[in-house]
């Protein structure tokens, strides 16, 4: 059940995911307060966002990015999409060259409702920090099954484990709402 980090070098990620070849992707869905537990110690919980993005190849990807690695601009975008999934703004085309380094590509923004986020946390994750070893971005088509554990009387938070077509299982993602 591979409960640890997904070990991947930057070059392995580039070979696997076309998202690594662009500066930004279209954010379609976002959910905050999704944690990965590095151990049973509460201080070892890593807060992040689970999201669905669309790459330049029009393929859909499921990703989890630790909050600590996101720029302020990207955090705002993730929260905006979570609170209002049908958010329509010129953010997609106006976000290029923001102060904190987030870059947006207007070539993907065919309509004004696009919200683009940087792929930087997912591409260079393993070189940034140990927390980043848990970040992932996988094509939706490579997910073979989900192992879902809803909240119960003995387990306050629900969790989901993604099982990939190649037999690998990603670390459990715990859904907190407090």
Question: What tens-digit pLDDT sequence spans the chain (178 residues)?
Answer: 344 444 433 333 333 344 555 678 899 999 999 999 999 999 999 999 999 999 888 899 999 999 988 989 999 999 999 998 776 333 443 333 333 433 433 334 444 457 888 877 655 555 556 787 888 999 999 999 999 999 999 989 999 999 999 999 999 999 998 7
How far is C-alpha 133 from the geometric centre of its chain's CA atoms?
Answer: 12
Say what the pLDDT of residue 56 is: 86
23 beta partners = none
Closest to 177 measured CA to CA, from 146, 156, 154: 156
Tens digit of each residue's pLDDT (9 = 90 or more) over 2-27 = 444 444 333 333 333 445 556 788 99
Dist CA 174 CA 67 (whole Å)? 14
Dist CA 36 CA 132 (whole Å)? 11
The answer to whether the CB of 160 falls within 8 A of the CB of 147 is yes
53 beta partners = 27, 61
Q: Which secondary structure element, helix H or strand E, spans residue 119, and what is its range?
A: none
Dist CA 9 CA 82 (whole Å)? 30
Dist CA 115 CA 63 (whole Å)? 16
Task: Indicate yes or no: pTM above 0.85.
Answer: no
Label the pairing between strands 143-149 and 158-164: antiparallel
């Amino acid at each position: 059940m591979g409960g640890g980090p997904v070990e991947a070098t930057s070059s392995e990620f580039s070979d696997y995911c076309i998202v690594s070849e662009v500066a930004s992707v279209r954010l379609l869905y976002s959910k905050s307060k999704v944690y990965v537990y590095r151990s049973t110690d509460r201080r070892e919980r890593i807060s992040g966002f689970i999201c669905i993005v669309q790459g330049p190849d029009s393929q859909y990807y499921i990703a989890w990015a630790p909050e600590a690695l996101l720029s302020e601009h990207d955090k705002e975008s993730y929260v905006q999409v979570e609170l209002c999934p049908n958010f329509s703004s010129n953010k997609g085309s106006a976000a290029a060259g923001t102060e904190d380094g987030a870059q947006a590509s207007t070539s993907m923004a065919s309509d004004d409702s696009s919200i683009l986020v940087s792929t930087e946390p997912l591409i260079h994750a393993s070189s940034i920090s140990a927390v980043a070893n848990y970040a992932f971005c996988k094509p939706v088509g490579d997910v073979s099954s989900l192992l879902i554990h809803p909240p119960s009387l003995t387990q306050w938070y629900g969790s989901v484990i993604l099982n990939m077509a190649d037999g690998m299982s990603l670390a459990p993602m715990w859904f907190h709402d407090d």
